[in-house]
Amino acid sequence: MPEQHEHVITIRGLVNRFGSQVVHDNLELDVRRDEILGIVGGSGTGKSVLLRSILGLHGPNEGEIKVLGHEIKYHQPGPHKQWGVLFQGGALLSGLTVQENVELPIALHSDLSVETRRELAVLKIFMVGLDLTAAAKYPNELSGGMQKRASLARALSLEPKVLFLDEPTAGLDPISASQFDELVSYLHANLDLTIVMITHDVDTLFGVCDRVAVLVNKGIVVDTRDEIVKNPDPWIQEYFGDPRAVRARKAAKTNKVKT
């Protein structure tokens, strides 16, 4: 049996610099198995650079990154079949239908029969709340919310252990964003997933995430939803002291009491 790791992602001594600009300086992070970790930070703090570093799409200047026990190297094979990614823009292939988009990773990374691949793709499409009518459409025929769900179905196609979400509710109206949050919570509870998401949606941070990681001062501060708001860092205080964040936190607590 494969070795079980308490932390599915570990980052040690991460340094990312671009010319004279240092974005991350000795950043360290542990992501716990089965948690939903939300990552937030101001402009220029390197949220996307951090995600790309974890995925092996960017080569850090220094540091070590391990995902599921595998050391991640820039553009080298890693445990890619064990993670799924929903990029901010969805990144669906415009010339393929939704079903073909979802089926593509299965075709590339397995030797399953065509019939089995199709059945699995349909299952993933149903899992994210879409139907066969949507499955036959092309990405430009879908609403923003449906595109997000289709992209999520593709991210889940290989039954990953870790799911990365980059601004999953960006561009969605409040109702669609809330429904997507509910979907993420449902999938997390039923698929034994560890989820790492970059988000600025305070409703998502307080309503879905177990812990919050804030990129500040070229490093990262991680704590529970209740404790992170007590951190004295000026940016953290400003961000979580914003009226929208205060309302989101109160709403999350109210919903927790009701359930």
The per-residue pLDDT for 259 is: 46
Class of the CATH domain delimited by 7-258: alpha beta
pLDDT along the chain (259 residues), means of 10: 68 96 96 96 93 94 94 81 85 91 91 91 93 92 90 94 93 90 93 93 93 96 94 95 90 67
Give the pLDDT confidence score for residue 3 in this predicted structure. Answer: 44
DSSP states of 214-249 as a string? EEETTEEEEEEHHHHTT---HHHHHHHHSHHHHHHH
The DSSP element (H or E) to which 154 belongs, if any, is helix 144-155
Domain ranges of the chain: 7-258
Confidence (pLDDT) at 256:
63
The predicted pLDDT at position 27 comes to 97
DSSP 80: G
